Amino acid sequence: MLTGAPWPRAVTTSLGAMTARAQRYDASVTRREQVSPHLVRLTLSVPGFTSTGILDEWVGLVVPGQFQVRYYTVRSHAGDEVVIDVVVHDAGLVTEWAGRDCVGDALVVTAPQGSFALPPAATWLLLVGDLTAMPAMARITAAVDLPTRAWAEVPDDLPGYLPDGVDVTWLEPPAEGQSRLAEVVEGIDWPEGDGYFWMAGESAQMRDIRRYLRHDVGFPAGAFDVMGYWSGARGRRARAVDPGPIYARGKRDGKSDEQIWADYDAARHPR
């Protein structure tokens, strides 16, 4: 069992209360640290920043020279200081910028939003993710006081990234830009009783996993949260579609969670 303070309930923005026009903050980079070959940590000064309290909350970044938003998990925060861990790869709006010395640069940060919603009756927690999911997994495991198991598919050694005592299985990706996390999920021996499953990674696999959890495992929608953080369909691309407005629109239209996630996947993979 993990130790730590109970996770805080969301008090502001969640997926159920988002609009297409998120508040934006002027920010600047105060520190840059190379955590591992593929992971860069940026510490941002974001005056006026207010956390949602949701453990997988993310913010949008608009970096110098760009106008498009890319979304990244808040690794930690304290007052106006926000820490973001960026996965760096060959190309991308944020990764090219974060891969160089960006200390002192100004950028825009959107208001945080999140989706992690642990049911009050949950007696266990399972986490599955690749390198892009590690910031959220670290924050979740540090805060949730439940028997927890995690599977992490990462190309780098990350000693100390997750809290001591976490039952974690480290997996190596099959190749650059590829993942076998769907196979991992299909091989899970699910615990007894009520629990919560959280997963994030490549979008196409997340779509398949949502169907598997609903139709094969039999989980109700509130028992799991599966998010597509990047797309491998046309080369690796960071998450460029905010699920919030799609979720809000779907709820207004009376759609089920499964239909809403199908709309989100369609937005990420337009034909």
Among 58, 226, 57, residue whose Cα is nearest residue 128: 226
The Cα–Cα gap between 271 and 265 comes to 11
Residue spans per domain, the chain:
23-110, 125-240
Which of the 8 DSSP states describes residue 118?
A: -
Whether 74 contacts 52, CB under 8 Å: no
Per-residue pLDDT of the chain (271 residues; tens, 9 = 90+): 222 333 333 333 343 433 445 689 999 999 999 999 999 999 999 999 999 999 999 999 999 988 889 999 999 999 999 999 999 987 778 999 999 999 999 999 999 999 999 999 999 999 999 999 999 999 999 999 999 999 999 999 999 999 998 999 999 998 887 889 999 999 999 999 999 999 999 888 888 899 899 999 999 989 999 999 888 764 444 555 666 677 677 777 877 766 776 676 666 554 4
The Cα–Cα gap between 266 and 249 comes to 14
DSSP β-bridge partners for residue 27: 107
Burial class of residue 80 in the structure, from the number of CB atoms within 10 Å of its CB (0-12 exposed, 13-18 middle, 19+ buried): middle
Single pTM value for the model: 0.79
Tell me the CATH number of domain 23-110, given options 3.30.460.10, 2.40.40.20, 2.40.30.10, 1.25.50.10. 2.40.30.10
The Cα–Cα gap between 46 and 50 comes to 9
The per-residue pLDDT for 242 is 63
The per-residue pLDDT for 238 is 52
Domain 125-240 part of CATH 3.40.50.300: no
Residue with tokens 């809290």: 163
The per-residue pLDDT for 243 is 65
